[in-house]
Structure 1
Amino acid sequence: MPLVRSWVDSANTAECPFPLNNLPCGVFTASDGEKRCGVAIGDRIVDVSALEAAGLIVFHGGPLLDHPGWNRLMAAGPEVWSSLRAQLTELLEEGAARRSAVERHLVTLAGAQLHLPFQVVEYTDFYAGRHHALNVGTMFRGAENALPPNWLHIPIGYNGRASSVVVSGTDVRRPWGQLKGPDDVVPRFAPSQRFDIELEIGAVVGLPSKSGQPVTVAEADAMIFGYVLLNDWSARDIQAWEYQPLGPFQSKATATTISPWIVMKAALETFRVSTPAREVPLLPHLAEPGPLLYDIALEVGLTPEDAAETILSRTNYREMYYSAAQQLAHHTTAGSPMNTGDLLGSGTISGPLKENRGSLLELSWGGKEPLTLENGETRSFLHDNDIVTLRGVAKGDGYIIGFGDCTGRILPALADPYSRQG
């Protein structure tokens, strides 16, 4: 698909992450101080809440964008999602008849305050990237036992904390927790010293499912509204002590950062690719009915305090072993209902080479191979005041589809985490 040209000139450049082909959904603070639903176009945000109030966008059955969040529209289903894109395209495309009516509802993107684009109802994180699982398993169990016996049969996951999902730009405080080194007789309570990132894509569930009713992989794909970049911050030293036998708990509860824009699934259709070839066939209920991954180029940047950024890793979402639709279908197999606003983390996205690894745990090989940054400093895990930025784009014919940066800065641990002062 070629670039669809807009009368917003900045949307027509090959480097713009928000062309008319994209139309990602977010929430921003308007000039009157209210939070509104907005869609990014070029270097602007179109206030779609205002467009709906002015009658420039109309949905059968009444307003869907008159509150600061996309959950109500997501729950309305794929026909409404398509209607939104069609109406916005008509209003924003080159030569649009109602351009003057829309122009008054544009705001500048630069400097705009952005918020979580939807209410996160539940959050599940998966362990579904084969390169990541092989790397981590090799570090801790040896190459011959790297993958758990079930790994090639089901997408492994755990239920996380929806309450700790934050929008890009939110500072993340270094957590305290129980730590126990290999030579320690008992654990100690201290700040994490092995705080890490995980490069992921998050799938945003639009349509709910019914309790007791599993969905097929194809049905699951139809339920997904769109995708965000996702950084699942991980305290590896807390995780090493707590994860047996039930897996991550406090090590993953500090924060999960997502990008401010939901890229609707429709914007990614031309970038679909198949999951990798399988050495062990999946059971029929998890088999892929068609291409369900996406060709999305990803990178991780780390910026130390008062220094230039270093690109730590470059990889691609197509490296995932299980797609979001397969993860969602698996989530429902025991009858668990999925809700509008559920968020599914893909799991760390790593590739086959060292420079493709999506976590510091892998990049530094558990701290044994520290990375050298552009300013000469080294990193095995995150230092205080480090800023981590995830980026992702799908590259089309003369345009790109972007998500907006997914960033977070590490604040020092509290001196006394139980103090109620300050």
Structure 2
Amino acid sequence: MRRRLTLVTVVAIGVAVALLTATFWLLLRGWLRHDADVLLASHARSAAALVAVDAGRLVLEETPGDEAIEPGMWLFDPEASPVVRPPVDRSLDTAAAALASSGPATRVIGQVELRSLPVQDGSRHVGTVVVALSLAPYVHSERLAVGAAIVLDVVILIGAAVLVRRVVGSALRPVAEMTARARDWGAHDPDQRFGLGPPHDEITGLAATLDGLLTRLAASLRHEALVTSQIAHELKTPLARMRTSAEASARYDTRAESLRAALEGVLAEVDQLTGVIETLLKAPGGTATMEGADLTEVAARLRRTATAEHPRVRMSLHGAARPALCDPALAERILAPVVDNALRHARSAVTLRIDQAEPAAARTDATRVTITDDGTGFTPDEVDAVFEPGYRGAASTGDGAGLGLPLARRLARLAGGDVLVLPGPGGRVVVTLPVLPDT
């Protein structure tokens, strides 16, 4: 990252410097060419001012400073025949003669620029002067300036590369440190946070993002631990029954009939365990199914089981409603912990009432199951606390791990419903599930 940023920045600076240098060179060249043209035009006018006609012949007047003009001056008569010619190369002579016959013009030969200017005597054309100016000093100045600019460009690029590398390294160092710390925290201590406050720049924005990722990671780890605890809680009771039955048969039952009955009980518990595991494994995948659960039948099964396990508690079932949009096994897993909780806290009676939920109690059409017992009930402070994993209220009997209601709510919400606790004398829990659409 650092190398790429440095390279991109240096390339961008190099392109900008190259464009500036090219622009400077073009401007300098234009300025020097303009100066040369101005100077050459001045020489041409000065040379034309020295031309005079004497007895029908062109002559040069003798004035101070002629020596500076004549070495680079040609004088041609109207027929373009040379009258005055400096000692120069034949190529310059040929070019000067061509300019004399073509009127006012400019031509560059090598590093020499020639300019022609007609000479007038009143309104009569009496000849043409051609002057020459060496461009070598201008070319030398141009090359010297461009060379110095290129050297300066190289120095700028080297300095920019060093400076950009240091600046980029300094800017990315906190990012690298934060990445390393976040990696270490994610592996060993996900509860650590950077805590730089609201983001106001890129670094604090990255810190806030990493804090969010660590928070979600910690929540995921807690959720994983919660799911493990909930599954263990669901499997605990059937395993205890299997062990009790097996131990009783091994110690006391020697008759084949008793042993057979114990084994049948173990098989029933194994079937129940299998159903629990399959339900819990299927629940996280969602409940997008058109299969309907008749909550009356589910409640009836739970009632039969409760009658055998809690003979002291009278359990009644009332009402009916449309089938719920939920897998029947999942619906049983939702209701079972709630019913079991009511049976453990009831003094003598538990009532299950199934009806259609009121519009204010559900966002959509829903089936409602209200489980009521004649126990102590829930206090207003326990309405939300009972859904915290491991919470056991003041009226707890000492049985259970405090995970039944949290599991029931989680599964109900996966199905699009909910589980609510109502405070007051006598325990009351309301389970709502969406109804199966009419076909």
Structure with higher helix content: 2
Higher relative contact order (CA 8 A, sep 6+): 1
The TM tier, using the shorter chain, reads under 0.3
Kindly name which structure, 1 or 2, has the bigger radius of gyration based on alpha carbons.
2
